[in-house]
């Protein structure tokens, strides 16, 4: 069958869907991945059909306004600025989905459930965190991972859904009325009067399934994407790795820090105090420095599945994809969350005993980071727990389980 995958966001919101697309393709399905045009080469290098969304998201994230929004300032004005682009985005999603037999969608793409309704085909909400399945067991991950008690825990999901969809409700209903010929939507989690099936791409060994979820919720395991066959590490990186003890990895993914120099100074001083070697990933994370000591290697980017197993510990922002990669590698994690669900995964890492307490990026200091790295690299019990969790995660087939659900719902 023809399966269209709709997603939007940073690298972490695209990479797992490429992994799913490859699995579906191997299973004999035709797959088209629809996302921001900035990921065209990344997607097509893996041999998937690609349809672009001209959202300018990557450029926006790297702009001063985008950086401020990621820091929690000026978000509403940014949303207003993006509204015309988002109107066009849902139209482009519709155009790219015409021949679909099923739709797999990230809610950020906004159009997925509505297109599935119009085409009368199965739709699957797919995410790396359980933000759309109310439970009394824990609050919505977007609320930071705290336990507020059964009543508010469950209520937090409604609050999240309203807050996440209200700014776009008028635009989405206009799209339903004018383009799809459908009445206004009551919510984005119901399809033809029933809860839309949900595919949550994380491991139950990391976050156990609550007992109050329905049959429409499927925790599949992580969707890992192997490094491109064409990728090769530089001679300089190989030389650094072979020149001493395993280093500590430090990188903050797509969290573009407005104070990159200050963050770099904190990281470098913390590494110096521990006496360890380190790899500092620059990427979009704002870690920059004009000169580094010999025990530190500055890295633009490298596939986590290749790099993390060669490290002593991983320090990162707590994005779901980077958290998964660190856990699969069996390495203790030090999480420095910025916003969103990152504090949630930081608390999970701490609760599982595979990393110290998370350090919110606004409270990041040399002393706090040096202490956390020291704990992560010297606690033998933490290292054993990280290795044991890795074995459980590696035994799962998240992509295979997701395909099984899709095929069962499609043909069952």
For residue 130, the domain's CATH number is: 3.40.50.2000
Q: What is the mean pLDDT of each run of 10 residues along the chain (412 residues)?
A: 94 94 98 95 95 79 60 61 86 96 95 96 96 96 89 95 88 96 88 94 98 97 92 95 97 68 87 96 64 87 94 96 97 94 96 97 95 98 98 98 91 46
Q: What is the DSSP letter of 399?
A: H
pLDDT of residue 287: 63
pLDDT of residue 280: 92
Distances (CA, A) of 190 to 80, 233, 354: 26, 46, 37
Which residues have C-beta within 8 Å of that of residue 255, sequence separation ≥ 6? Answer: 70, 284, 285, 286, 317, 319, 338, 361
Pairing of strands 194-195, 190-191: antiparallel
The parent domain of residue 323 ranges over: 235-394
Domain check: are 211 and 326 in the same one? no
Domain check: are 24 and 52 in the same one? yes
- Return d(Cα 40, Cα 33) in angstroms, integer: 9
SS3 content of the chain, % helix, strand, coil (to 5): 50, 15, 40
Residue 227 covered by a domain: no
Residue 95 covered by a domain: yes
Element (H, E) at 152: helix 150-165
Sheet holding 333-335, edge to edge: 296-299, 278-281, 248-250, 313-316, 333-335
Domain check: are 41 and 167 in the same one? yes
Domain check: are 217 and 274 in the same one? no
Domain check: are 390 and 404 in the same one? no
Residue 228 covered by a domain: no
Distances (CA, A) of 202 to 205, 351, 399: 9, 16, 10
Other beta carbons less than 10 A from residue 201's beta carbon? 26
Domain check: are 245 and 351 in the same one? yes
pLDDT of residue 333: 98
> Whole-model pTM?
0.93
Q: Burial, 75: exposed, middle or buried (Cβ in 10 Å; 0-12, 13-18, 19+)?
A: middle
Domain check: are 216 and 118 in the same one? yes
| Total structural domains within the chain | 2
What length does the chain have?
412
Domain check: are 138 and 96 in the same one? yes
- Return d(Cα 57, Cα 50) in angstroms, integer: 17
């Amino acid at each position: 069958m023809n399966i269209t995958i709709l997603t939007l966001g940073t690298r972490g919101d695209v990479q797992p869907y490429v992994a799913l697309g490859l699995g579906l393709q191997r299973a004999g399905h035709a797959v088209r991945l629809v996302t921001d045009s900035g990921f065209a080469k990344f997607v097509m290098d893996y041999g998937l059909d690609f349809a672009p969304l001209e959202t300018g998201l990557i450029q926006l994230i790297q702009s001063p306004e985008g950086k401020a929004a990621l820091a929690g300032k000026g978000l509403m004005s940014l949303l207003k600025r993006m509204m015309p682009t988002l109107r066009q985005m849902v139209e482009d999603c519709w155009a790219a989905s015409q021949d679909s037999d099923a739709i797999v969608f990230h809610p950020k793409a906004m159009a997925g459930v509505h297109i599935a309704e119009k085409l009368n085909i199965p739709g699957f909400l797919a995410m790396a965190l359980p933000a759309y399945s109310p439970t009394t067991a824990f609050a919505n991950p977007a609320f930071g991972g705290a336990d507020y008690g059964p009543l508010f825990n469950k209520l937090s999901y409604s609050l999240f859904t309203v807050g996440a969809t209200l700014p776009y409700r008028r635009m989405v209903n206009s799209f339903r009325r004018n383009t799809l010929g459908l009445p206004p939507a009551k919510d984005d989690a119901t399809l033809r009067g029933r809860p839309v099936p949900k595919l949550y791409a994380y491991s139950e060994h990391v976050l156990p399934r609550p007992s109050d979820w329905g049959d429409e919720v499927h925790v599949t395991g992580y969707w890992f994407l192997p490094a491109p066959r064409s990728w090769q590490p530089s001679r300089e990186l190989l030389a650094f790795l072979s020149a001493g003890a395993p280093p500590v990895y430090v990188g903050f993914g797509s969290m573009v820090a407005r104070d990159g120099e200050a963050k770099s100074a904190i990281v470098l001083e913390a590494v110096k105090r521990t006496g360890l070697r380190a790899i500092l990933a620059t990427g979009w994370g704002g870690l920059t420095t004009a000169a580094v000591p010999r025990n530190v290697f500055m890295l633009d980017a490298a596939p986590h599945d290749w790099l993390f197993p060669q490290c002593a510990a991983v320090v990162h922002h707590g994005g779901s994809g980077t958290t998964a990669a660190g856990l699969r590698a069996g390495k203790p994690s030090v999480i420095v969350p910025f916003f969103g669900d990152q504090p949630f995964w930081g608390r999970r890492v701490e609760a599982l005993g595979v990393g110290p307490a998370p350090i919110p990026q606004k409270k990041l200091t040399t002393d706090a980071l040096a202490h956390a790295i020291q704990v992560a690299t010297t606690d033998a019990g933490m290292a054993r727990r990280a290795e044991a969790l890795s074995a459980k995660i590696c035994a799962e087939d998240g992509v295979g389980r997701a395909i099984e659900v899709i095929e069962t719902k499609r043909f069952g």
